[in-house]
């Protein structure tokens, strides 16, 4: 009699790769269907009270946080060794990198995840921006800019142990300040972050797809931790748990494609490839797949500069709108909260500058038209 198939029958590496691919497929399909866009969330913040994309993003962050903290509270997940909770807080890198990333995603029309989704539907502008982002990220991570990055982050870092803290966890800060147990501190911090976010999300009615998409994408964060930290945990080759992020894996995917015979696929690469496939399938099924190119040299330059800013900024800030804004925040990391705040600040500054420039051009055009009418009337 044949036994049924079970996940336990697979080796940890296979679970890791299949899990990353499945989560990527889900993200790409959901993001394409729901128009999930963090750059759009920042634009909503400054332009519309309904802010559907902002509400979707906040719901994703709240669901991600609740799911991840539930795994931690149940004793199934230990995020203490993740890249989001070291004792050294790279304050300068987090803030400067976040600002650069925020400006960059306005210039390119989307963060790394959004560009992947758009490129899968035939947007060549997004594809070129992604390539530039990946090159700039790898140059900052492992190439010519790696040593200056490390020196800057070290020089502007803050050692939290000097303040009696073991790491960047807000739970530790709350426990120390309020003099409560770690469990109580966790509950208080989660409530302080989630309840205001949910109150804002449901204060106005928006198109259901934004909220449904945000909630489903939020669930992918604890799903990623469950795959890497629980299902694929390997006692012979222990690795820190990780979940969804874009900047680093995108750079690794580019290198993997260039050095396939000498490289190894991991969770991040599988997840990035999955995004492209999932988004492409939805674009084709909905009849949205079509090639879209650049419109002039100025437009091209804007996308290239934006790609560089996101690549360098994403590595400096140790993550992007997904890696820091969803995954990092779900671990209650101080650095992640600072990073996503800086990203939104950079995006808002860039959007405000664009609004001012557009208004100035309109005003000058109006003055020129009035002058032309006046000259015509006098002749």
- Separation between Cα atoms, residue 37 and residue 314, nearest integer Å: 17
Q: Find out whether 139 and 133 touch, Cβ atoms under 8 Å.
A: no
The pLDDT value given to residue 8: 61
Tens digit of each residue's pLDDT (9 = 90 or more) over 56-95: 999 999 999 999 999 999 999 999 889 999 999 999 999 9
β-partners of residue 159 are 88
Residue 185: what pLDDT?
Answer: 93
**53 contact partners, CB below 8 Å, separation of at least 6:** 35, 36, 37, 38, 40, 41, 43, 44, 210
Helices 146-155 + 91-108 axis angle, to 10: 130
| CA-wise closest residue to 204 among 51, 38, 73, 39 | 51
Say how far residue 195 (Cα) sits from the centre of its chain. Answer: 22
| pLDDT, tens digit, 9 for 90 and up, residues 361-379 | 677 666 655 555 655 566 6
Distance CA 325, CA 52 (A): 17
Phi, psi of 296 (to 5 degrees): 90, 165
2 has pLDDT over 80: no
Q: What is the average pLDDT across 124-138?
A: 95
3-state secondary structure 326-354: HHHHHCCEHHHHHHHHHHHHHHHHHHHHH
Could you report the per-residue pLDDT of 161-188, keeping only the tens digit for each?
998 898 999 999 999 888 889 899 999 9
Write the DSSP assignment of 219-245 as a string of letters: HHHHHHHHIIIIIT--TTS--------
- pLDDT confidence of residue 30: 97
Q: Give residue 1's pLDDT.
A: 44
**Spatial contact of 57 and 324, defined as CB atoms under 8 Å apart:** no
The answer to whether the predicted template modeling score (pTM) of the entire model surpasses 0.85 is yes
| Model confidence band, residue 236 (pLDDT cutoffs 50, 70, 90) | confident
C-alpha span between 305 and 15 (Å, rounded): 38
- What is the pLDDT averaged over residues 21-48? 95
Residue with the bigger pLDDT between 294 and 306: it is 306
Q: Which long-range contacts (CB under 8 A, 24 or more apart) does 190-194 make?
A: 190/65, 190/66, 190/69, 190/332, 193/62, 193/65, 193/329, 193/332, 194/62, 194/65, 194/66
- The residues spanned by each domain of the chain are 11-370
- Residue 357: pLDDT over 80: no
């Amino acid at each position: 009699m044949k036994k049924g198939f079970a996940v336990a029958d697979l080796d940890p590496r296979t679970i890791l790769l299949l899990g990353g691919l499945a989560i990527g497929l889900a993200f790409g399909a959901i993001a394409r269907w729901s128009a999930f866009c963090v750059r759009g969330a920042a634009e909503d913040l400054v332009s519309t009270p309904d802010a559907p994309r902002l509400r979707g993003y906040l719901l994703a962050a709240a669901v991600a946080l609740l799911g991840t903290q539930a795994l931690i509270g149940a004793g199934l997940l230990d995020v203490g060794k993740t890249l989001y909770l070291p004792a050294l807080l790279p304050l300068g890198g987090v803030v400067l990198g976040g600002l650069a990333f925020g400006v960059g995603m306005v210039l390119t029309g989307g963060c790394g995840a959004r560009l992947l989704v758009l490129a899968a539907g035939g947007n060549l502008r997004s594809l070129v921006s992604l390539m530039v982002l990946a090159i700039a990220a790898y140059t900052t991570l492992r190439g010519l800019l790696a040593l200056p990055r490390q020196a800057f982050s070290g020089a502007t870092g803050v050692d939290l142990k000097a303040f009696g803290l073991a790491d960047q966890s807000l739970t530790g800060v709350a426990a120390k300040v309020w003099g409560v147990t770690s469990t109580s501190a966790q509950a208080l911090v989660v409530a302080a972050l989630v309840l205001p976010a949910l109150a804002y999300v449901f204060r106005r009615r928006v198109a259901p797809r934004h909220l449904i998409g945000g909630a489903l994408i939020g669930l992918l964060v604890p799903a990623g931790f469950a795959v890497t930290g629980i299902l694929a945990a390997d006692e012979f080759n222990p690795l820190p748990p990780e979940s969804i992020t874009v900047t680093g894996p995108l750079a690794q995917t580019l290198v993997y494609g260039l050095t396939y015979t000498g490289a190894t696929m991991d969770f991040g690469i599988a997840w990035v490839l999955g995004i492209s496939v999932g988004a492409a399938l939805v674009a084709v099924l909905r009849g949205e797949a079509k090639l879209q190119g650049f419109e002039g040299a100025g437009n091209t330059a804007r996308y290239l500069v934006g790609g560089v800013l996101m690549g360098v900024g994403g590595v400096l800030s140790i993550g992007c709108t997904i890696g820091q804004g969803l995954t990092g925040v779900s671990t209650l990391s101080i650095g992640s909260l600072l990073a996503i705040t800086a990203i939104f600040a950079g995006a808002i500054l860039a959007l405000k500058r664009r609004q001012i420039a557009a208004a100035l051009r309109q005003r000058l055009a109006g003055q020129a038209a009035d002058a032309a009418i006046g000259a015509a009337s006098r002749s």
